[in-house]
């Protein structure tokens, strides 16, 4: 199984979008332990969303989309209640 996930920095409220073959909770642990250099300065991180795929190419394509402008708009729309309730983003 392949996963695309979104983490939110509890430090500055920025988003981190990633891909993993591990379960997203396990990947979150790696991020928060500082094992992922690209998110090391954003710790602590919170898992706020993930999607699972059977096909690796589908997951990588989705990750690429979410990292782009249209994908960011999609995230804001899909998670608008989360952002509103938590006064984030």
Nearest to 1 by CA among 27, 37, 29: 27
**H helices, E strands: number in the chain:** 4, 3
- Measured in degrees and rounded to the nearest 5, phi and psi for residue 85 equal -65, -30
Residue 78 has a pLDDT of: 94
CA distance 52 to 41: 27
pTM of the full predicted structure?
A: 0.92
pLDDT for 4-44, tens place per residue? 999 999 999 999 999 999 999 999 999 999 999 999 999 99
Residues 50-71 pLDDT 10s: 999 999 999 999 999 999 999 9
Give kind and range of the element (H or E) at residue 53: strand 45-53
**pLDDT class for 84, splitting at 50, 70, 90?**
confident
Residue 89 has pLDDT above 60, yes or no: no
DSSP symbol at 44 = S
Domain annotation for the chain: domains and CATH numbers: 2-85 (3.40.1440)
């Amino acid at each position: 199984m392949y996963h695309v996930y979104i983490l939110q920095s509890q430090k500055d409220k920025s988003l981190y979008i990633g891909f993993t073959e591990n379960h997203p909770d396990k990947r979150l642990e790696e991020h928060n332990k500082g094992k992922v250099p690209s998110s090391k300065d954003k710790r602590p991180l919170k898992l706020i969303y993930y999607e699972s795929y059977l096909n690796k190419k589908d997951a990588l394509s989705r990750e690429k989309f979410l990292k782009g402008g249209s994908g960011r708009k999609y995230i804001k729309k899909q998670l608008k209640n989360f952002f509103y309730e938590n006064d984030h983003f």
